[in-house]
Amino acid sequence: MIRIIPAIDLIGGKCVRLSQGDYARGKIYNENPLDVARMFEDCGISMLHLVDLDGARSGSPANLGILETIAARTSLKVEFGGGLKDETALESAFDAGACRAICGSVACSAPELFGAWLHRYGSDRLVLGADARDGMVAVNGWKDNTSVKLEDLLHTFLPEGLRTAIVTDISRDGMLSGPSVELYIQLMSRFPELEIVASGGVGSLKDVEALDNAGVASVIVGKALYEGRISMKELAAVQEGSLIR
């Protein structure tokens, strides 16, 4: 059964969602991320996807206090990303309570460093955030396109022990238009040793079911939850295994 990982994206300490990674097309959904995290916790969720969009844009974490609060005041395991470009920032995220860190930009700009982190911290604590637009990786809060192909990025870190990659199709993120199911099928076939976590485009429970039927183990869901396209009742039912089999 597929696992839903709800997302909280942070700008200025508030819960927001962007459309296609565009900071100018952001919408504030809640001013208290702890309340949102507790709402997900009440649905039986075990892991939260927390992204510091301020940190992703500036290059250094800016919302570690919120990470610390959620980690300390809920039972949720929190995976955290945004601005983790040096070891000081990485350690600060772990110190604030992150169970695992999501790194994307540094994997492109300093692959040797990210490879060293995988060896030092382990594949259970380091996750590759592979965000792509038209098959090419984008970094720095999706502002900057690179010449790195998505599949090449994944392949680079297999020898270093990478085991989990969150793959986001930027063109679909926040659009509620359906996920790139074929992309994930292709990646799972190409990289059977990796857990490919789907991200971007989920607009309904049927989209989650389509990913589940394709064999995807986990999916990150954000806007569909905030817009009520997937209700809290449905989210709780998925966790109990009573909606998706």
List all residues 6 or more positions away from 20 whose beta carbon is below 8 Å from its beta carbon.
170, 171, 172, 173, 174, 175
Q: Going by DSSP bridges, is the β-strand pair 47-52/22-30 parallel, antiparallel, or unpaired? A: unpaired
C-alpha 37/C-alpha 47 separation (Å) is 10
Residue 80, both tokens: 């955290």
List 9, 52, 207, 212, catalytic entry:
9
The sign of the torsion formed by the CA atoms of 236, 239, 242, 245 equals positive
Annotated catalytic, 131?
A: yes
List 52, 54, 131, 169, catalytic entry:
131
Which amino acid is present at 34? L
Q: Going by DSSP bridges, is the β-strand pair 195-199/164-169 parallel, antiparallel, or unpaired? A: parallel
Annotated catalytic, 152?
A: no
Residues identified as active-site: 9, 131
